[in-house]
């Protein structure tokens, strides 16, 4: 079998995998055609382009956070109106790295087999994470997480969608609202969806966005966050050891 036939088989496999999700959306501000083209290239690279519906929204005239919040709720309502049981939502600054059909298959198998999941992230920032060693369908590729932020690639089931749709804008940022969902929140490990270094449209976070990009962007930050949460004890132990060595050398030279 030649390479072209191999590629066709892989593309067919990936396409069938993405069909698991009843609705797939990508949110984009209507005048950010640059991001839309970049997102399309990313979706094409993972065999997803033909299954994504772009939701083009106007910039909110007063509050960027409200615009983000309401655009996500619009997608959720649209999915529920279409009878979707499983909805996948992206934002237009999405980039894929470390993606494989095998990892996507692990994600889908988990969503099929676990009846208690509420949210599933293909990439985000977390406060802490645990491998599912206490579950029948455990796998080191799926983590139970305490979510922190980022909503550039996540999955909701119907029940969670219905509950979120009840939570109208009250001044709380969308990812902060998601923090109120207790239990049933999971992520793939290693994550394969990241935010690009494209400048943010959120005027409330321009300084933070500049700071993030100065230190390599959210992709690097997300990977560091992921590594730290998976190996927190080891990381802390190494730092404590280094501090002790420095203190020892300091007092030794003083003596």
Block mean pLDDT (10 aa), the chain, length 255: 52 84 98 97 97 97 95 99 99 96 94 95 90 54 92 98 97 96 95 86 60 66 76 63 70 69
Residue 110's pLDDT is 95
The packing angle between helices 217-230 and 232-254, to 10°, is: 90
Residue 242's pLDDT is 74
Q: What architecture is domain 3-254?
A: Alpha-Beta Complex (3.90)
Residue 198's pLDDT is 73
Rounded Cα distance between 87 and 78, Å, is 10
Residue 141's pLDDT is 86
In angstroms and rounded to an integer, the radius of gyration of the C-alpha atoms of the chain is: 20
Q: Where are the alpha helices (DSSP H) in the chain?
A: 3-18, 33-45, 64-81, 101-113, 158-165, 174-178, 206-214, 217-230, 232-254
- Rounded to the nearest angstrom, the gap between the alpha carbon of residue 143 and the centroid of all alpha carbons in its chain is 13
Rounded Cα distance between 87 and 160, Å, is 10
Rounded Cα distance between 201 and 33, Å, is 13
Q: Are 48 and 16 in contact (CB under 8 A)?
A: no
The two three-digit tokens of residue 168, written as one number: 């109208």
Q: Are 178 and 111 in contact (CB under 8 A)?
A: no
CA distances from 150 to 94, 110, 140, 154 (A): 11, 22, 22, 9
The residue extents of the domains of the chain are: 3-254
């Amino acid at each position: 079998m030649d390479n072209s036939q191999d590629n066709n088989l892989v593309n067919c496999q990936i396409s069938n995998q993405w069909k698991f999700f009843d609705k797939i959306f990508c949110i984009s501000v209507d005048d950010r055609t640059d991001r839309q083209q970049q997102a399309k290239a990313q979706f094409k690279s993972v065999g997803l382009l033909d299954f994504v519906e772009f939701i083009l929204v106007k910039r909110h005239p007063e509050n960027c956070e409200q615009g983000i919040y309401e655009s996500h709720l619009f997608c959720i309502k649209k999915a529920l109106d279409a009878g979707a049981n499983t909805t996948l939502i992206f934002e237009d600054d999405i980039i894929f790295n470390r993606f494989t059909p095998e990892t996507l298959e692990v994600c889908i198998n988990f969503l099929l087999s676990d009846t208690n999941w509420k949210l599933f992230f293909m990439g985000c920032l977390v406060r802490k994470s645990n491998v599912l060693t206490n579950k029948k369908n455990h796998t080191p590729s799926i983590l139970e997480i305490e979510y922190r932020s980022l909503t550039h690639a996540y999955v909701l089931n119907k029940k969670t969608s219905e509950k979120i749709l009840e939570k109208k804008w009250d001044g709380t940022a969308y990812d902060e609202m998601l923090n109120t969902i207790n239990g049933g929140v999971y992520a793939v490990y290693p994550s394969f969806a990241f935010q690009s270094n494209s400048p943010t449209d959120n005027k409330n976070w321009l300084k933070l966005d500049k700071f993030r990009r100065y230190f390599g962007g959210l992709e690097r930050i997300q990977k560091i966050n992921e590594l730290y949460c998976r190996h927190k004890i080891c990381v802390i132990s190494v730092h404590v050891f280094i501090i002790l060595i420095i203190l020892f050398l300091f007092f030794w030279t003083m003596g």
